[in-house]
Amino acid sequence: MAYDSLRGVTVLSGGVGASGYCVDTWEWNGINWLKRTAPSMPPERMAAAMAYDRARGVTVLFGGLCPAGRLADTWEWDGATWSQYQHAASPPGCYTHTMAYDTIRETMVMFGGSDGSNSLGNTWEFAPGLRLLQQPVNTVVVEGSDAVFGVTAIGSTSIRYQWRKNGAPLPGAGQASLRIPQATRVDAGTYDVVVRAPCGQILSEEATLTVALKADFDMDDDVDMADFGILQRCLSGENIPADPSCAD
């Protein structure tokens, strides 16, 4: 069992009953038990370990014992869906082990258990780390308009941001979104963000800001046929007298 502190429920999965191994998932809200179903469920098992990952908002289940033997799979429950997590390296199959979540380092810690023949003294740590669900995207704005970049990061409760322009940190740009008010051509360039947490850091993809010139050539705060006439004269060739409004 594990306590989901975000939703305020205790989560129970698997076990063994009078009819054999169980595959059920149940939640206790302090008043009632509610049986939960999902399109994909962990296989039947007993003596697995569970703990709640507060940073990512999921209950993690590892290992256990099934009729075929020891299990070495990892599953995550978000309150609606079970998803199997694929590790690059995984602990060996075991059961009767213990697992707890280290809130300071945002890491799942597992210890001990049995492999069926021996008691185990191994310690394993599982820290999925930061992920960016949304990257900054290329943006085009008209000069004088606000430009906005943003990212969505998960994997920690203590996420910090540092936006950069052309690789240089921007002072005071420490939020998930970056707003550039009344952008000018000086603001054009390449932007990215460094995302940091206790479990590590990642760098976002780069996004380009393009600042287009206004079409209000006569600067009367109105784009109209007069501006179109100025544009025509600017682009009509060398036989047309230069228009003083054609500023580079």
Q: Return the pLDDT at 212.
A: 81
Let me know: does 128 contact 164? Beta carbons within 8 Å. Answer: no
In sequence order, which residues have a C-beta less than 8 Å from that of residue 123 and are 6 or more positions away? 109, 110, 111
Let me know if 45 is exposed, middle or buried by CB neighbors in 10 A (0-12, 13-18, 19+): buried
Phi then psi for residue 16, to 5 deg, are -140, 135
> Three-state SS for 36?
strand
Let me know: does 150 contact 177? Beta carbons within 8 Å. Answer: yes
Q: Spell out where 139-217 has E strands.
A: 139-142, 147-150, 152-154, 160-165, 168-169, 177-180, 189-197, 200-203, 207-212
Please write the tens of the pLDDT for every residue from 127-152.
Answer: 777 788 899 999 999 889 999 999 99
CATH class of the structural domain 131-212: mainly beta
Please write the tens of the pLDDT for every residue from 84-111.
Answer: 988 777 889 999 999 999 988 888 999 9
In sequence order, which residues have a C-beta less than 8 Å from that of residue 187 and are 6 or more positions away? 147, 180, 209, 211
Q: Where in the chain is the domain with CATH 2.60.40.10?
A: 131-212
Enter the CATH code of domain 2-126.
2.120.10.80
Token reading at 132:
């960016």
Could you tell me the pLDDT band of residue 11, with boundaries at 50, 70 and 90? very high
Q: Where in the chain is the domain with CATH 2.120.10.80?
A: 2-126
Token reading at 84:
């199997």
Least confident range from 31-35, 187-191, 195-199, 236-240: namely 236-240
The secondary structure of 86-111 as a DSSP string is: PPSS-PPS-BS-EEEEETTTTEEEEE
